[in-house]
Structure 1
């Protein structure tokens, strides 16, 4: 039986530079995301403008523990299959 080949995996490429603060904070074990100062919405993936109000005043904020674990699944009736009322999972 032969041993598994030694494969080197590529490192992530940080492009564009707009995402540099995200990667720098991640190295320090901090999850930071952009927040729009105009509409106060949290934004991910990093970008130059807010996808909600198209504002350009974006700042980086560290996500708090409650925000990190607040996730779930949402759907609307258009997402259901054949009129079922539960999510198609």
Structure 2
């Protein structure tokens, strides 16, 4: 998945606070997380609408989050907001 944009739905918490739901994000990856093997300490916070791939996870106990898209890309709408939320987190 290189240079493709997808609509991403999310839980509205953490890095996604105040971010439109859904929003468009740029994807540049060839690996994805598997729901069947995701550790129980991680919760899914975002997924792509078109292919339902995991696009965000959050640790259930610690303030750790990750996304599987590029918020810094010019093609990611509201990417600056996501980065701001991360920095303020």
Higher RCO, 1 vs 2 (CA within 8 Å, ≥6 residues apart): 2
Higher strand share: 2
User: Whose Rg is larger?
Assistant: 1
TM-score by length of 1: 0.22
TM-score by length of 2: 0.22
